[in-house]
Structure 1
Amino acid sequence: MTQSGPHRRLLPSVLPLAIALSLSCLLPSHAAEVDGARIIAADKEPGNWMSHGRTYDEQRFSPLKNIDQSNVNQLGLAWSYKLDLDRGVEATPIVVDGVMYTTGPFSVVYALDARNGKLLWKYDPQSDRQRAGEACCDAVNRGVAVWQGKVYVGVLDGRLEAIDAKTGKRVWSVDTRSDHTRSYTITGAPRVVNGKVVIGNGGAEFGVRGYVTAYDAETGKQVWRFFTVPGDPKLPPEDKAMAIAAKTWHGDAFVQQGGGGTAWDSFAYDPELNLLYIGVGNGSLWDPKWRSQAKGDNLFLSSIVAVNADTGEYAWHYQTTPGDAWDFTATQHMILAELPIDGRQRKVLMQAPKNGFFYVLDRKTGELLSAKNIVPVNWAKGIDMKTGRPIVDDQAAAYWKDGKRKLVTPAFWGAHDWHPMSYNPQTGLVYIPAHIMSAYYEHIPEAPKRHPFKSVYQLGLRTGMMPEGPDGLLEMAKTWSGKLIAWDPVKQAPAWEVPYITIFNGGTLSTAGNLVFEGSADGRVIAYAAETGKKLWESPAASGVMAAPITYSVDGEQYVTFMAGWGGAFSTFAGALSLRAGVQPFAQVLTYKLGGTATLHEPPAPADAPKPPAQTGDAQTIAAGAALYDGNCSQCHGIHAVSGGVLPDLRKLSAEKHQMFLSILYGGRIPDGMPSFADRLKPEEVAKLHDYLIKRAHDLQTEGDAWQRFSAKPATQPLADNHTHTQE
């Protein structure tokens, strides 16, 4: 029976829409009315955070200073908002006129009242979750852009969508994929420049050809597209840039393998020069012998490319890692600033890409001004300042030349990954969330054939070589750690450093309150003194924090927001090592203010591992199952079936799931984003894979105490003893 009258009960399917419609009236009448002039003049309204890096120069510095060194220890939680899915959270929120726009896993967009966290509307683009396995690094999203009343989001399955900022309803949608047979995805945040929405894509690990596209912000019509690597050499190059790039590639294997070069994250924009700066990623395949006969620089892999923002026409490039062979992307955060170089002010672009070096370039010409490694590196002996090229140490890193396995530092997650750095013009320092890590790279002696299925890594080499058990992993984990580095870009030297237990700590925010804010992988949110690195405040975050925080003000009150939620590449693929962080995925928006008294919500305790079924497979069967697991499951559920907690740990399957194992693999699990494996694994192969997982479940039973010690959350250091190292 349906109730009627003024107090009738809304049906469940109608209730969320009714809430969204009722709360949308709380939005300003002209929601998200942002344009280029407003972003350029952002310092005149410091209470807003209107673009991904707050300003087009991507400095992530806020002029707000109500919260400073004298009172930051009074910060308390003002409000929190629980996101729908406990997966990796990497978004930078946008705040305009008291409204926060942010994203969660699977590209879901949330509009929240920035004063109290109340939901105004939610937009779910209904990303094709079966395609989550085609995303190298979890179903993450790094945020939205806003422009003249619209909110723009890149959807994991390759769409770019515009949403009405007041109602949360879709305005237009475009499919950005150039080839539907390839594993194109989007995890990066769009930028809007001169009325054009700019977006790149991911998928190099799966074999795609990278490009960046600009769409009309009002209509969604494509304005220009810039390819980052050449296409088929039998065809004419698309433009001047591709004519330049084609000369640096050899053979035609890269055509079948895609070439890579995806621009999956960072952009910056100089309004005076009207130049858009694109950070370009790694090659496909990784091994340069199988990608391009081990010849050529393979432009524009691992490069910073400047293009005309209106036309996409090539202006200049600087390649950080010619002929990249190690996944040393240059997609990392770029910052524009003015620095005193050799006695005069220079307009520069700064980047710390994966390869371990910090670069300062002239942003008009691309001239290299300086470069220095921020962490220990062994793949190169330095940068030749005459040529701008790295001096590669072949003996240490050229695994494809002599066929020997090489331990390379840094490795595929780099000295600095996507986690944004920030620049404080008052201290002159760049605050970098850095990694210390190494991994083995090994050449495969026979040319790999492209795998017939999507969502299968196309690397062309062997990498990682992680041990199975906790004791061996503990020794490896000791060589994987994180740092917050305050880097002087003029002196090309650290001012101070703070160590962390592991890699994948959060991006940074610096403020005029002389503060640096950062979240940590081990589940804390922290404030440091910007000039010395002294820890002044910290608070638990209930999960690992990877995203960069922001600060804003409403009605004279300053707030600091962290997007918390453990996940991403480290906790899926290298799940075992990520357990050192001692946290669970628990996705929340956490917002702090002076005197805040809200209660932090904690995740439920993880369940104990059930008793596994009897082991019936012999050693040969289990070995075959291990190989099948490595090729089909490890990128999501972790190497050697050790999950970091984001996706199910397959050593901990219930008796019911063991019985349903074949039907799960063949049916897929749509809410989790797991695809069906019916077209790639025969029933007898599924049985072997299952035998391997049963074996790993028994291993867990015998190693349980050691795993608990390995994954125990490290004790928090007191404020007076945070082991800051200040450089003299």
Structure 2
Amino acid sequence: MRNIRPLPILKSASLLCFSSLFLFACAKTPAPPASPAEVTAVEWTKHGGGDAEQRFSPLTQISPNNIGDLGLAWAFDLGVSRGIEATPLVVDGVIYVTATWNKVFALDAKTGALLWQYDPKVDRSKAADLCCDAVNRGVAFAEGKIITGTIDGRLLALDAKTGKKLWDTITVDQSQPYTITGAPRIVRDKVFIGNGGAEYGVRGYVSAYDLNKGALLWRFYTVPGNPADGFEGPAMANAADTWKGEWWKYGGGGTVWDSMAYDPELDLLYIGVGNGSPWNQSIRSPGGGDNLYLSSIVALRPDTGEYVWHYQTTPGETWDYTATQHMILAELDIDGKSRKVIMQAPKNGFFYVIDRATGELLSANNYVPVNWATHVDSETGRPVEIPEARWGGKAPYMQLPGPFGGHNWHPMSFNPDSGLVYIPAMETPYVYADDKDFVFNAKGWNTGADSAMGSLPTEIAQFKAVKAAVKGRLLAWDPVKQKAAWQVEHNSPWNGGILSTAGGVVFQGNADAKLVAYRADNGERLWDFFAQTGIVAPPISYELDGEQYIAVASGWGGTFALVYGGLFPAASDAGVGRLMVFKLGGKAALPALPSEVVKRPVPPESTADAETIAMGKTLYDANCVVCHGDHVISSGLVPDLRWSPLLVADEAMQSVIIDGALSTRGMPSFKGRLNKKDVQALRSYIIFAAHEGVEAKLDIGK
């Protein structure tokens, strides 16, 4: 191992004057390639471009020399506009893409003509179990089948030519708040899928299903269950030694909600494991412990689910520091020796280079400012924590990264030509503090953190100071030197995934509603296209009839956009979600944006006392903020409650919040969580926010 000299560490004292910002935060068969780095130039048949998940295209037709001629070839309206995060696939001249609520579309990849579409009829009341918007990240393809997961926990196979459903398997206990937002992966005749729901008190796992029949083949749990019930194998027995108390009563967390990769030479499947449930380790595992396999990369045998090795990025995680972020396989020359590595930039702010055969740490360095650890020890592989950062039972602590992480789900890209990893990085501070009134809710949001500390300040100077501390950037990272090669600053932290190409171009969409192309070697901005709504999804590239195409799905959304999109507006509105496809010489144009002005109704007058309004704010922050926005200021992706006609009477709000009158439209019932008195307090706070709220005095957007 090498000695690592970390980047400057952010001192917490410089941030203590701020209030907290964030609450959370051309193969046609599945035969494995000859090496993990191999990518099919003509098509994009796998989620990350190949098993190695490099998101690199070897196509060279589009280059810095001619990119000025890049234009829209065609666009397809997905019919929805909320949180489009999908990676399209291209197989046999057909492009497959998913939209909100798991709708699947098959389009002619050259013309955009619709071939078929499939709606899995997801129960939209499941929105109550989603931490981070009604999103999904795409499909998998093998042997003429399209495989997709659904928000309500199903795994489906569709005929790739017709869209006909072939099988439909339930992968979770649907009485529990499990969800699926990640894309499936396929190795040989097995489909792998994880799930989400850690904040809601579930126990994480990844499962393998038969590609042809949909039957469960094996399941690997990522955290141990109740020891009295016995353990599923040695890996769980060993993990149990790293937990304290009665963690199983809280579920434990550790959901495998996104990233995977596969090495055909070593025949290893790598999974990224998420955060603990609840976040606060002093509640989840009083007395500490590493809490395996939270926040870990775990290597498994794909045929059996047998555990091989793990590397834990954040032992005893207590900050929502998932290791579910994108993982990339590559070969790097380190100290004069070629090493087969797996690379990850998880939420905790450190970039890891790990031997993918053994799990040995080769190097680590922070790619964004951090103030929870000074560095990662090169001998032990463990972070050296700053004691004040372990907040459970201690004073509140302002921290970077916050729960959104230094890097979230948005995929990064590795270009073997430049040797650089391109990361959609961000800086998002957060104050961690104990929830003194925490009571576990088996159907609700469980963090063990004081949600009031996550609300934006209302004093204008503090707000502007916090806003200045929130940053997003495209970061070109040298994984051998463990330092930045170049970076480009963005106007918002919430930006799209990355594609790099052998033509020397890096593509990324952003919160300013643009798809942008940069030079891969120095970050020079070469070209952009206004998409009319923000882009969070990653682009892909493919070739048809000798022409190179770039494709990306647009549709502003995700957890940051929902919670803070109204308070931190970029140039993105809740416009039409589309699949947009570009080529050299493309002459198509998007339809003009509507120009009508929406007239806001006048909210009723408030007659509530200060105590009721304060109670309503507490209830709102605990139950509503993740969709309807901090300080009741909506991003526009869901209705702005300040102007809701339901405010006319308590009974009108009760019909929705308790009786579920709008559950089929994605607004779940909170029956059992909230009562009539709670609804009255919520209504009082929302009316107060409409009349006396912070929007005007904070001078939002300026």
Q: TM-score, normalised by structure 2?
A: 0.92
Matched, 1:540 2:540: no
1:410 to 376, 381, 401: 401
Alignment deviations for residues 107-157 of structure 1 (CA, whole Å, 9 cap, x no partner): 111111111211111111111100112010011000000010100001001
SS at match of 2:85: coil
Matched, 1:676 2:662: no
Conserved 8 A contact 1:477-1:577: no
- Counterpart residue type for residue 106 of structure 2: A
How many residues in Structure 1 have an aligned counterpart in Structure 2? 672
- Aligned-residue offset at 1:451: 1.5
Q: Which whole-Å CA distance do the structure 1 matches of 2:250 and 2:367 have between them?
A: 33
| Residue 146 of structure 2: aligned partner | 151
Change (3 A) 1:664 1:56: same
2:450 to 446, 449, 462: 462
Instruction: Output aligned runs, 1:175-324, within 5 Å.
Output: 175-177=170-172, 179-252=173-246, 254-324=247-317
Conserved 8 A contact 2:36-2:329: no
- Aligned-residue offset at 1:686: 1.4
Alignment deviations for residues 187-226 of structure 1 (CA, whole Å, 9 cap, x no partner): 0000000210000000001110000000000000111100
Change (3 A) 1:578 1:162: farther
- Counterpart residue type for residue 643 of structure 1: S
| Residue 342 of structure 1: aligned partner | 335
- Aligned-residue offset at 1:667: 2.9
Q: TM-score, normalised by structure 1?
A: 0.89
2:623 to 614, 619, 632: 632
SS at match of 1:263: coil
Q: Which whole-Å CA distance do the structure 2 matches of 1:200 and 1:209 have between them?
A: 11
Q: Which whole-Å CA distance do the structure 1 matches of 2:504 and 2:587 have between them?
A: 24
Conserved 8 A contact 1:507-1:547: yes
Instruction: Output aligned runs, 1:476-495, within 5 Å.
Output: 476-495=466-485
- Aligned-residue offset at 1:243: 1.3
Q: Which whole-Å CA distance do the structure 2 matches of 1:361 and 1:230 have between them?
A: 25
2:602 to 607, 611, 614: 611
Q: Which whole-Å CA distance do the structure 2 matches of 1:527 and 1:359 have between them?
A: 27
Runs of at least 5 residues in structure 2 that lack an aligned partner in the other structure:
1-25
SS at match of 2:392: helix
Q: Which whole-Å CA distance do the structure 2 matches of 1:460 and 1:624 have between them?
A: 19
| Residue 662 of structure 1: aligned partner | 654
1:371 to 364, 380, 395: 364
1:522 to 502, 505, 512: 512
Conserved 8 A contact 1:141-1:188: yes
- Aligned-residue offset at 1:625: 1.6
- Aligned-residue offset at 1:182: 1.9
Q: Which whole-Å CA distance do the structure 2 matches of 1:467 and 1:43 have between them?
A: 46
- Counterpart residue type for residue 693 of structure 1: I
| Residue 531 of structure 1: aligned partner | 521
Output the aligned Cα RMSD. 2.0
- Aligned-residue offset at 1:342: 1.0
Q: Which whole-Å CA distance do the structure 1 matches of 2:627 and 2:648 have between them?
A: 18
Change (3 A) 1:630 1:450: same
Conserved 8 A contact 1:39-1:51: no
Q: Which whole-Å CA distance do the structure 2 matches of 1:554 and 1:41 have between them?
A: 24
Q: Which whole-Å CA distance do the structure 2 matches of 1:547 and 1:39 have between them?
A: 28
Q: Which whole-Å CA distance do the structure 2 matches of 1:258 and 1:703 have between them?
A: 38
Q: Which whole-Å CA distance do the structure 2 matches of 1:38 and 1:430 have between them?
A: 22
Conserved 8 A contact 1:582-1:711: no
- Counterpart residue type for residue 609 of structure 2: D
Q: Which whole-Å CA distance do the structure 2 matches of 1:206 and 1:346 have between them?
A: 40
2:580 to 582, 587, 590: 590
Conserved 8 A contact 2:276-2:294: yes
1:601 to 576, 591, 612: 591
Q: Which whole-Å CA distance do the structure 2 matches of 1:580 and 1:466 have between them?
A: 20
SS at match of 2:369: coil
Runs of at least 5 residues in structure 1 that lack an aligned partner in the other structure:
1-30, 713-728
Conserved 8 A contact 1:75-1:595: yes
SS at match of 1:640: helix
- Counterpart residue type for residue 378 of structure 1: N
| Residue 552 of structure 2: aligned partner | 562
- Aligned-residue offset at 1:34: 2.5
Change (3 A) 1:633 1:521: same
| Residue 638 of structure 2: aligned partner | 647
Instruction: Output aligned runs, 1:365-514, within 5 Å.
Output: 365-395=358-388, 397-401=389-393, 403-445=394-436, 448-452=438-442, 454=443, 456-463=444-451, 464-467=453-456, 469=458, 471=460, 472-514=462-504
Change (3 A) 1:405 1:143: same
Q: Which whole-Å CA distance do the structure 2 matches of 1:33 and 1:58 have between them?
A: 18
